[in-house]
Amino acid sequence: MSRAFNFCAGPASLPTEVLAEAQAQLLDWNGRGLSVMEMSHRSPEFVSIANEAQSDFKELLSIGDDYSVLFLQGGATAQFASVPLNLSSPGDRVDYVNTGIWSKKAIAEAKRYCEVNVVATAQDNQFTFIPDQALWAQSNDAAYLHYTPNETIGGLEFDWIPDTAAPLVADMSSTILSRPLDVNKFGAIYAGAQKNIGPAGLVIVVVKNELLGRAREDIPTCMNYSVAAENNSMYNTPPTLAWYLSGLVFKWIKAQGGLSAMEEINRRKAQKLYSAIDGSGFYNNPIAANSRSLMNIPFTLADDKLNSLFLSQAEQRGLLNLAGHRSVGGMRASIYNAVPEAAVDALVDFMGEFERDNG
């Protein structure tokens, strides 16, 4: 069997070693005679899987006991509502930064529950760079400030962490575990699993314990962070298979050398691809150098009429899912942790050949 190189933005590549281990245990987990998918989430076997995954995740990010780590359902999109419902009261003002489509979705959902102050927007510069924080119009009384460190669709990323007196909340779906992170600067972090964590269907929330208990009285019980924390993320049946596979990914990251090693590899991959784009008169990426994403690299061809040919020939070479998001077009290569450096090398080689043939 030959595996293709998958550049999908999500659900994204999973490490081949993780998939092989899961395959070997699919019918019979550790000699128990059943699959993880068939286990009770209350069983000692699955509780041990869950606790070990949580412990490894906390170790990777150096998360202290003053934070709770929650493994929940609904993906990051459900957190667009969960965040204001857990961290603000009716009538509160909350600050948001608009850097792209996912920021906009979070803002639209928060407006259902709060007075939203958009402190800054990259829309004014066609989403090509992150606005300088010195120009932000932050509130003095915000319940929290929310931002999206990396926009997967536009390829716009913060290379710094905002400074704010209010609790800082971040949607890290596409950057979590790709590099070291000072979690202590955040009130809450949430991340959909299907990029650097595991398969779709799971979201991890890291929330400072002092923020628990702020939830509104009418919040749905299964969305309440305090309830989740008190029940070890098992108030209801969790996405057990996704939790198990995520745990295998955490061990795989540790085996690679941890987050510092992942950052070194990821920066090298991104540099190779950006160099190929910038060194060409055929390809283009419009994002300012200090706002470019390490995880999602969009680019256009000199002639949009060549897009279909580029994609079909790329697929013939085993380079999959390179089409840009429908809202922006062009191409996009998502190079998350599990995308090997060899995949980027193969893509760069193909891009060079395609330019020579069609430039």
Catalytic residues: 102, 171, 195
Q: Which residues of 103-142 are buried (b: 16+ CB within 10 A; e: fewer)?
A: bbebbebbeebbebbbbbbbeeeebbbbbebeebebbeeb
Distance of CA 242 to the CA centre of its chain: 15
Question: Is residue 304 within 8 Å of residue 173, measured between CB atoms?
Answer: no
- Any idea which residue has 């969790």 for tokens? 238
Backbone angles phi, psi at 55, to 5 degrees: -65, -45
- d(Cα 163, Cα 353) in Å, to the nearest integer? 45
- Sign of the C-alpha dihedral computed for residues 226, 230, 232 and 236 taken in this order: negative
- d(Cα 207, Cα 310) in Å, to the nearest integer? 43
**Token pair belonging to 151:** 């926009």
- d(Cα 47, Cα 234) in Å, to the nearest integer? 10
What totals of helices (H) and strands (E) does the chain contain, helices first?
Answer: 9, 14
Question: What one-character-per-residue DSSP string does 152-164 give?
Answer: TTTTEE-SS----
